[in-house]
Amino acid sequence: MNQAKTFMLLAALTALFVGFGYLLGGPAGMVIAFGVAIAMNAFSYWNADKLVLRMYKAQLVDETHPDALIRNYVSDVKEMATGAGMPIPRIGILPQDQPNAFATGRNPENAVVCATVGLLKMLSREEIRGVMAHELAHVKNRDTLTMTVTATVAGAITMLANFALFFGGRDRPGGIIGTLAIMILAPMAAALVQMAISRSREYEADRIGAEIAHDPQALASALAKIEGYSKRIMNEQAERNPASGQLFIINPLSGQRADNLFSTHPNTKNRIDALMNMVGAGPRPAPDGEYVTAVPTTKGRRAKGPWG
């Protein structure tokens, strides 16, 4: 269902591009803007992983690391990737206290999955496995490629909007007023579709990640914890680069209360509900009104690391 939804949203985004391009500049203007957008996004496609890793000061790690906590983390990622029949990605850690994780790379053969120090410190081993299985699902689904395509088309639409005053005018439908309306509405519509695609990919990664880890409850428990911590612990690097926020499993900038149009992440409660439905369990409200799930506390114990 989510795959079909993503396809339909991509088709809608493409239709927006073609329609707005023709209205503003005709075939010539559409081709020029699309060419520029492809060039810009091609650079991002081939270099995004390097840029993101450098931005977050990621450190690549392996099973020779002196800390047992990190060795377990690396071992679990490799074991789950092998079990899922996919190439083993590069594995990194981020020097961030906020528990979170992301995946990047243009395809499974060139992927990187990263967890923050806070994630390894604050979650149980089962919960960490659930989170990293979610990131492996993004890699397996080639979500980074999907988002690159959406970014290319959305970028082309924005480029067309910027060129509106040159290509548009009195001879276009609606005249100057119509051109100005398209300048404002075209990028907004493209952004809304792009965000909707991002949300649909998160739900799909939750589902497949739960299958990779064989533990929907652990991922549900991890999402609830990360959501709570993200509201209290600032990710300073993400705050300085908010566009990178959609990479993470939970929005690192602020908690989201609903699947609203401008959210790149689904509401965490909805994600937890979907995961619990996979095992026939249901959510329950806590007495103080905070949302919790019927997830039993994971029994595993994490190894002690240099952070406590």
296: three-class secondary structure by DSSP: coil
The 3-state DSSP class for residue 103 equals: strand
For Cα atoms 247, 252, 255, give the angle at the middle one, nearest 5 degrees.
120
Please report, for residues 253, 290, 292, the alpha-carbon distance to residue 257 in angstroms, rounded to integers and kept in the order given.
13, 12, 14
* 126, 127, 135, 227: the active-site residue: 135
CB neighbours (10 Å) of residue 57? 12
Q: Would you call 109 a catalytic residue per the annotation? A: no
CA distance 99 to 178: 46
Strand, coil or helix: 126: helix
The edge-to-edge listing of strands for the beta sheet with 90-94 is 59-60, 90-94, 112-116, 101-104
Cα angle 10, 251, 217 (rounded to 5 degrees) comes to 95
* Rg, the chain, Cα only: 21
Burial class (CB in 10 A: 0-12, 13-18, 19+), 166: exposed
Indicate the pairing of strand 283-285 with strand 291-293: antiparallel
Provide the 8-state DSSP code for 295.
P
Backbone dihedral angles phi then psi of residue 94, each to the nearest 5 degrees: -115, 135
Taking the alpha carbons of 104, 108, 110, 112 in that order, is the dihedral positive or negative? positive
Two structure tokens written together for 257:
């209360």
State the Cα angle at 149 between 104 and 109, rounded to 5°.
40
Residues noted as catalytic: 135
